[in-house]
Amino acid sequence: MAAMLSEIAASWQMEYRILSLNDAQELHRMRVGEREFVFTGAARGKARFAATALRAARRHPRIVLAGHVNLAPVVWAMQLAERRIKSIVCAHGIEVWEPLPALRRRALRRASLVLAPSRATADYVISLQGVPRERVRVLPWGLDPEFESASSGGPATMPPPEFPPGRVVLTVGRWLATERYKGMDTLITALPRLLLRWPELQLVFIGTGDDRQWLESIARDTGVNQHVHFLSGLTYDELSACYAASEIFALPSWGEGFGFVYLEAMAQGKPVIGGAHGGAPEIILDGVTGYVVPHGDPAQLAASIGTLLSNPLLARQMGACGRERVNREFCFSVFAVAFRKILGELCES
């Protein structure tokens, strides 16, 4: 979004400023594909961040965009300081699936427009947060152009040495105690059923977080620890290579408001398995590009994985359908066109 904001501002001969709460208090440069933009950080200083945003409001901006609902009160304060500002707040998923604190909810309702990446998340914004339906827009996020480039068939990068040989089920995501809703433990508990028929099967986790020991203990207690592997600190190219080297991608989560990892796997032509909850069923076409399964059901998860393992032709067909769908609906260029249109409509209003 930051990259597109800078590009759109340049094409409209307008200035832009991007503020980051968490980055160091200095000027930063970042490149996304061919697009480069600059931004300033607030070193996690919330008061400093808010003060900088309010000073920016004195320059009479036409649009202000908050990348997360937690920043909605800052945007509301900017609107109070400069009444002509049009505002956009981005909602991503699980953070709006429960009622927000009163101030944050009130600020979200004052936004000119709330963007949500899926219909499921948009419905939560309307029903739980009380944002009028006409001020909520579904805008699926686009696949990162750097990942698109890494998976577009250029020079092949090998997976890291720790990536196991054999048939691999891959999952990607943070290993956090606060995010156990992702269902990674269910992947481990489903593995014994699968190893009875496919003893060479391996399960690879890519991510980082404080819950790795908990997952490792489940693997030991289940007796499958020799088939479960954890990888961290990978480059984009290495991550792309891991997707390419795997046979199936699975993340049976109940809390995905969207699910970039599903898109990444689909872009590599892999069948995907996700939870039958939230935004995942809007990305995964059940029975066409993969399967959606109930959260916390190892038997159903094992059955879906087993269907793909036993029928490689079906798996390849689903992967091809998934890649076609990503190219048609979720590539960065599609997102860029839709985002530009939204900003244009808001400016004209």
Mean pLDDT of the chain: 94
Backbone angles phi, psi at 183, to 5 degrees: 80, 20
Q: Domains in the chain, start-ordered, CATH in brackets?
A: 2-142+332-348 (3.40.50.2000), 146-330 (3.40.50.2000)
- Tens-digit pLDDT profile for residues 206-245: 999 999 999 999 999 999 999 999 999 998 889 999 999 9
On the question of pLDDT at 290 being above 90, the answer is yes
Q: Report the pLDDT averaged over residues 153-169.
A: 86
- Say what the pLDDT of residue 225 is: 96
User: What percentage of residues in the chain have a pLDDT greater than 70?
Assistant: 98
* DSSP secondary structure letter of residue 159: P
Range name among 149-163, 187-201, 272-286 with the lowest pLDDT average: 149-163
- Say what the pLDDT of residue 149 is: 73
- Say what the pLDDT of residue 251 is: 98
Q: Report the pLDDT averaged over residues 19-24.
A: 96
- Say what the pLDDT of residue 154 is: 58
- Collapsed DSSP state (helix, strand, coil) of residue 250: strand
Name every residue whose Cβ is closer than 8 Å to that of residue 136 and which is 6 or more positions away in sequence.
Answer: 113, 114, 116, 122, 125, 126
Q: Specify the amino acid at residue 101.
A: P
For residue 261 the two structure tokens come to 């990892």
Angle (CA) 48 53 59, round 5°: 135
On the question of pLDDT at 151 being above 70, the answer is no
pTM: 0.92
Distances (CA, A) of 91 to 87, 88, 116, 140, 205: 13, 10, 5, 11, 27
Q: Report the pLDDT averaged over residues 58-73.
A: 95
Segment of 132-146, 150-164, 306-320 carrying the highest mean pLDDT: 306-320
Give the separation between CA 295 and CA 254, rounded to whole angstroms. 6
Q: Specify the amino acid at residue 229.
A: H
On the question of pLDDT at 28 being above 70, the answer is yes
For residue 95 the two structure tokens come to 């953070």
- Say what the pLDDT of residue 234 is: 94
- Say what the pLDDT of residue 155 is: 58
Range name among 24-33, 102-111, 206-215, 310-319 with the lowest pLDDT average: 24-33
CB 236 within 8 A of CB 150: yes
Lookup result for tokens 């000027």: 27
- Say what the pLDDT of residue 46 is: 96
- Tens-digit pLDDT profile for residues 320-344: 999 999 999 999 999 999 999 999 9
Query: Sorting pLDDT into bands at 50, 70 and 90, what band is 129?
Result: very high
- Say what the pLDDT of residue 35 is: 85
- Tens-digit pLDDT profile for residues 252-277: 999 999 999 999 999 999 999 999 99
For residue 343 the two structure tokens come to 């900003």
Q: Report the pLDDT averaged over residues 274-297.
A: 96
- Say what the pLDDT of residue 34 is: 83
Among 41, 138, 143, CA closest to 91: 138
Give the separation between CA 181 and CA 164, rounded to whole angstroms. 26
The bridge status of strand 86-90 relative to strand 113-116 is parallel
Give 3-state DSSP helix, strand, coil % of the chain, rounded to 5.
50, 15, 35
- Say what the pLDDT of residue 153 is: 59
On the question of pLDDT at 156 being above 80, the answer is no
Among 314, 265, 273, 317, CA closest to 291: 273
CB 265 within 8 A of CB 197: no
Identify which has the larger pLDDT, 73 or 144: 73
- Say what the pLDDT of residue 236 is: 84
CB 36 within 8 A of CB 18: no
- Say what the pLDDT of residue 150 is: 67
On the question of pLDDT at 187 being above 80, the answer is yes
